[in-house]
Chains A and B, each alone.
Chain A
Amino acid sequence: MTGNGNGDGAARGHTLGGPMIVSEDVKKWFGDFQALKGVTATVREREVVVVIGPSGSGKSTWIRCINRLEAHQEGTIIVDGLELTNDIKHIEKIRSEVGMVFQQFNLFPHLTVLDNITLAPQWVRKLPKAEAVDLGMELLERVGIPEQASKYPGQLSGGQQQRVAIARSLAMKPKIMLFDEPTSALDPEMIKEVLDVMKELALSGMTMIVVTHEMGFAKEVADRVMFFDYGTIVEEGTPEHFFTNPQHDRTKLFLSQIL
């Protein structure tokens, strides 16, 4: 447990809680290719973890294992006290408590923005329609685009679409939010509006794992930075430690290439 913020959530003035996600020696193969070679990490409640690393390093695969979009083959993942197994009940329960935001947004193109947001609360949380609509509008206010509620995703800019995707995940009132390269498919001038929403979310005390190449976001918001390479965590630590004094050669090389 190298430097997980000393339990004080220094960056945002939050007190970190107990362990929320426990990943214990997680291994995953795609055919013969081993994508994860034993990932061991603990994410605590209200902690913001930024995961960086070269492409193909397994960082996306790891967070996709956390809500079972990919099934890990060895090791254990425990989310909020529930172990991820093939038990469909556990999977559905965990998925309804873990929100996920994708690189390609993955909004439902045939539904309006508001319907995109209210669908899951209505059918998974069984919220009455009126309440779901109120919740949806509240979240659209929060991400700053309430006026787009009745438009279709195809009519929005990339940044707006990603903000809708965040609102859609938040509508399930998740305890954990996973971000899989949320700004990589965006034009530069739209990245900021999405990062602002994510910062606001981090300040509100959400437990977050963010796979990103936005080093500014990592420096400013993260409690902890993890560096993935070749399917394993090579180095982790607070942003200060990580960006000023990286220990591992591969980390140094990676940072020298992107900074």
Chain B
Amino acid sequence: MTTRIELPEIPDLAPEPPPRGPRVWLRENLFSTPVSGVLSIVTIMVGLAAYRGVLAFVFAPDRRWEAVTYNARLLMIQAYPSEQMTRIWVSVAIVVLLLAATVAVYRIGGQTTPRKVGIGLMSLGSIIVVGGVIGPWGIALSPFGVESMRGFLGWVIVGVVLVVGGHLLRTVPGEERARDSSIPILGVVLVAIFVVLSALWTVLLPQPIFDEAGKQTITMEPIAMSTRLPWTYIAVLGIVIYFVMWFLRDRIPIGLARRTLVGLWVGSFPFIVLVLLRDPHMDYGRVFTWYLPVALGFIVIGGLILNFVAGGRGELGRVIGAVLLIMALASFMFPMEFLIRFLLLSLALFAFAAPTFGGKGGGRVAFLSIWAGTAGLLTFFLALLTAPSTVEVAGSSFLGGLLLTIVLSVVAITLSLPIGIMLALARTSRMPIFRLMATTYIEIVRGVPLITWLIVAFIMLPVALPAGVEIGGVARAMGAMTFFSAAYLAENVRGGLQAIPKGQYEASEAMGLTTSQTTVFIVLPQALRAVIPALVGQIISLFKDTSLVTIVGLFDFLHIARLVIPSQTQPFNFLGVLREPLLFAAVVYWMFTFTFSRISQRLEKKLGVGER
């Protein structure tokens, strides 16, 4: 007799999905313990109250946002002549085109999933719905008033559409596929650009007008044609350039393309400010009889000297460098053209660098071309700076508003970084004289408030300068901010230098690299990488500190928002309207600094800080 054994059913051993869903999420993240539950509820209530406060402020019926919309151009570029606006737009276009080309050539922008985009849209939609529900229109006005119903309904409808859209995007391709499939981030950016552009053409903003009785009132109008048309052209051009470069990037030598782009970025800023916006009146007679011959002379004769020194002349090379340096320094004590002084100084620095970085063959050619480029650019900028500007503005400078803020920040940041690095190296140098000089500089400059340095640059510098030399107000502010920021950057970089293990120096020196080669190839790249967060913090703080130039009478972005608009009486009366422009200024500053911060986060990730 056979017995049949009833086997129990084999349980399904496929992995169970982990517990998921909103209830699990809430329990794990907000209400894991009684204390965290209480904290969560308190935080949510404070957050909602703050949200409602902001909405109540922004949408209060007596807010005069027309003071911002009417003065938009003033805030951006102050008194730059309106018949020259093309120059501004061309500058913006150059930056946007370079940005688009860079994104294409450097393959910036990864992939994201429909699920993530869907969740993002759903969160945004929920925030808008909440805004519609708790917004001021339900309570401040009569609950059934038409205005309040429109506000309430509009917000809720927009929010619900976003939530539903996000949910569809998240689930339509099927839960599993949505998690695996990916969409390029740049596609999302493209959609965002289209949304912003269509808003530019459709959204109505308040504009002040005079009614028939001559009384100041408000009408709702779209943004002026002179603004939305150029933006549309620039955006379309940017997208076109992106796709052109995207098509070309596998068909052209990529190294050359990248080097060209870096060169264009470096050159674009001085070109925009000094040539495009400043529109100098060049004296071509002087260019051909003085600037060109001097520059060519320095390039050729200096190049021969550098080629000689780079050929490994040992002590003789150092002597030649020292003689050039003494000549350069002496030239500052006698009446002399600035062109000669600066060219001599840079030739001396190149002569010191030549034995170690001069290279051989191709390396030598590269070194000599860098010299030719430096000498050429130096001459070019000096010629531009000494030529008078032809832009006719009411104030002392053609720079103002957000434009001034950006130019000040870019100049101060790009100039203070190399100075700060050199100070940091000097402070950690083995030679006591360098250490002493750097320490003295850093301690003195850091010990005095930036405002004081700005005032010194404006009140005391003219006394110290030799007769006949005049420096414009904006340049003085740039100088003060650069040297101030350099002291702080030096301390940040020093922190990075101290984090480099001794073994790195030893390994480099054991292979026969000289001290300067070790510094340039081994130490600085690692040190700077280690201090990116601190450097970006310094850059953000410098960007905001540009608002201090209001002290010395420059018309930066905040100055216009805080002082110029609230004292306006002609043609429209905005006397005392301070809160709206200030909130607008705060939002604009935040948008810039938040962008810096995000870029730095990506940079850190990309360079792999902390994962040696």
Say whether A and B bind each other: yes
**B-contacting residues of A (Cβ < 8 Å)?**
67, 69, 89, 92, 95-96, 98-100, 102, 104, 106-110, 119-120, 122-124, 126, 128-129, 152, 154, 165, 168-169, 172
B511 A92 Cβ-Cβ under 8 A: no
B363 A126 Cβ-Cβ under 8 A: yes
Add 17 more A-B contacts to A122-B363, A124-B511 (CB < 8 A): A69-B509, A95-B509, A106-B507, A109-B526, A120-B511, A120-B512, A120-B513, A123-B356, A123-B359, A123-B513, A123-B517, A124-B517, A128-B362, A168-B511, A169-B511, A172-B511, A172-B512
Contact partners of A102 in chain B: CB under 8 A: 503, 506-507
CB distance from B113 to the nearest CB of A (A): 27
B501-528, CB < 8 A from A: 501, 503-504, 506-514, 517, 521-522, 525-526
B503 A106 Cβ-Cβ under 8 A: yes
Q: Chain B interface mostly helix, strand, loop or mixed?
A: helix
CB distance from B569 to the nearest CB of A (A): 59
Contact partners of B361 in chain A: CB under 8 A: 128
C-alpha gap A200/B345 in the complex (Å): 53
CB distance from B228 to the nearest CB of A (A): 46
A95 B363 Cβ-Cβ under 8 A: no
Contact partners of B508 in chain A: CB under 8 A: 108
Given that A106-B504, A109-B612, A110-B526 are known contacts, is A126 also in contact with B359, CB under 8 Å in the complex? yes
Sort A-B residue pairs by CB-CB distance and give the 9 closest, nearest first: A96-B512, A106-B507, A106-B503, A120-B511, A100-B510, A126-B360, A95-B512, A124-B512, A109-B612
C-alpha gap A122/B361 in the complex (Å): 11
B side interface size, CB within 8 A: 28
Contact partners of B608 in chain A: CB under 8 A: 152, 154
Contact of B507 among A96, A107, A110, A123 (CB under 8 A): A107
Contact of B510 among A67, A110, A126, A152 (CB under 8 A): A67
Contact partners of A99 in chain B: CB under 8 A: 510-511
Contact partners of A89 in chain B: CB under 8 A: 314
CB distance from B500 to the nearest CB of A (A): 10
B9 touches A (CB below 8 Å): no
Contact partners of A67 in chain B: CB under 8 A: 510
**Can you offer 20 A-B residue contacts whose CB atoms are under 8 A?**
A67-B510, A69-B506, A89-B314, A96-B511, A96-B512, A100-B506, A102-B503, A106-B501, A106-B504, A108-B504, A110-B525, A122-B363, A124-B513, A126-B363, A128-B363, A129-B362, A154-B612, A168-B511, A169-B511, A172-B511
B360 A128 Cβ-Cβ under 8 A: yes
C-alpha gap A96/B529 in the complex (Å): 28
Given that A69-B506, A128-B362 are known contacts, is A110 also in contact with B529, CB under 8 Å in the complex? yes
Contact partners of A95 in chain B: CB under 8 A: 509-512
B12 touches A (CB below 8 Å): no
Contact partners of B507 in chain A: CB under 8 A: 100, 102, 106-108, 165
Contact partners of A122 in chain B: CB under 8 A: 363
CB distance from A110 to the nearest CB of B (A): 5
B611 touches A (CB below 8 Å): yes
C-alpha gap A128/B525 in the complex (Å): 22
Contact partners of B517 in chain A: CB under 8 A: 123-124
Contact partners of A129 in chain B: CB under 8 A: 362
Contact partners of B513 in chain A: CB under 8 A: 119-120, 123-124
Nearest B residue to A69 via CB reads: B506
Nearest B residue to A129 via CB reads: B362
Nearest B residue to A152 via CB reads: B608
CB distance from A128 to the nearest CB of B (A): 5
C-alpha gap A122/B366 in the complex (Å): 14
Taken residue by residue from 341 to 363, chain B's Cβ proximity to chain A (1 for < 8 Å, 0 otherwise) reads as: 00000000000000010011111
C-alpha gap A153/B262 in the complex (Å): 28
Contact partners of A92 in chain B: CB under 8 A: 512, 514
Contact partners of A124 in chain B: CB under 8 A: 511-513, 517
C-alpha gap A67/B356 in the complex (Å): 20
C-alpha gap A123/B503 in the complex (Å): 20
CB distance from A17 to the nearest CB of B (A): 23
C-alpha gap A247/B359 in the complex (Å): 54
Contact partners of B512 in chain A: CB under 8 A: 92, 95-96, 120, 124, 172
